[in-house]
């Protein structure tokens, strides 16, 4: 069985990519894009791992006001990082499911960005903790529309698995569908 999705920079290749982008001095949009991709992949994988252990986001949301039930779900998921953060967020977030999901996503982002700030501060591109925290704030601001979309989708449908929103502009072309109107001789079919 695969190991639980981790938020530890030392053991998560997904989060390591984000760390490397911070460390190398990538631009804010580049770092935000990498963090968005890592967050989507991490949440998606974590939610699948919960399900494998018989726990859903709906179960967590239903138990958000009962610490004993949350501890039980945490045990069932073998102390999963994401469930631990959910339990912490549930204890401090507002009364609605949306507040809880928002608090959970913020806790995930806080855990990752805090580790990055501590490791990157004092580097060539971020000489002080204030520099890296200011840059992290810009990255988080750029992620706000994405985070709001994820929070809304998960609040409306806790069984939904996060994925990247379609990009504006060119849409990837399905080569099979594109060839549907082409004859075997290469000419457009009638």
Query: DSSP per residue over 93-155, as a string?
Result: S-SSHHHHHHHHHHHHHHHHHHHHHHHHTTSSS--SHHHHHHHHHHHHHHHHHHHHHHHHHHH
The values of phi and psi at residue 187, to 5°, are -90, 150
Residue 174 belongs to some domain of the structure: no
CA–CA separation, 38 and 15 (whole Å): 6
Phi, psi dihedral angles at 188 (to 5 degrees): -60, 135
Q: Is 6 inside any structural domain?
A: no
Per-residue pLDDT tens digits for 14-37: 999 999 999 999 999 999 999 999
As given in the structure block, the two tokens for residue 77 are 């998921």
Greater model confidence, 126 or 189: 126
Helix (H) or strand (E) holding 178: helix 175-179
Q: How far apart are CA 64 and CA 56, in angstroms?
A: 12
Q: Would you put residue 183 in left (φ > 0), alpha (ψ -120 to 50) or beta?
A: beta
Q: Provide the residue range defining the domain that includes 77.
A: 13-164
pLDDT one-digit tens code per residue, 79-128: 999 999 999 999 998 889 999 999 999 999 999 999 999 999 999 999 99
Q: Is residue 5 included in any domain, yes or no?
A: no
Instruction: Report pLDDT for 1.
Output: 43
Q: What pLDDT is recorded for position 176?
A: 52
Asked if residue 126 is part of any domain, the answer here is yes
Number of domains the chain contains: 1
Question: For the chain, what percentages of helix, strand and coil (3-state, to nearest 5) are there?
Answer: 65, 0, 35
- Whole-prediction pTM: 0.84
Asked if the structure places residue 190 within a domain, the reply is no
pLDDT over 90, % of the chain? 77
- Any domain includes 99: yes
Pairwise CA distance, residues 102 & 99, whole Å:
5
Residue 4 lies in a domain: no
Q: Examine residue 65 and state whether it is found in any structural domain, yes or no.
A: yes
């Amino acid at each position: 069985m695969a190991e639980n999705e981790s938020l530890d920079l030392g053991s998560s290749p997904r989060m390591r990519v984000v760390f490397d982008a911070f460390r190398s001095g990538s631009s804010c949009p580049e770092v935000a894009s990498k963090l968005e991709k890592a967050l989507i992949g991490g949440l998606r994988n974590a939610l699948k791992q919960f399900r494998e252990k018989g726990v859903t986001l709906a179960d967590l949301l239903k138990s958000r006001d009962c610490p004993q039930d949350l501890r039980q779900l945490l045990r069932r998921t073998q102390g999963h990082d994401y469930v631990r953060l959910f339990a912490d967020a549930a204890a401090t977030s507002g009364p609605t499911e949306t507040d809880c999901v928002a608090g959970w996503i913020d806790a995930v982002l806080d855990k990752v960005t805090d580790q990055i700030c501590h490791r990157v501060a004092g580097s060539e591109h971020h000489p002080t903790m204030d520099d890296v925290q200011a840059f992290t704030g810009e990255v988080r601001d750029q992620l706000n529309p994405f985070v709001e979309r994820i929070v809304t989708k998960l609040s409306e449908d806790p069984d939904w698995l996060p994925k990247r929103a379609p990009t504006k502009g060119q849409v990837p072309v399905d080569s099979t569908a594109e060839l549907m109107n082409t004859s075997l001789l290469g000419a457009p079919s009638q």
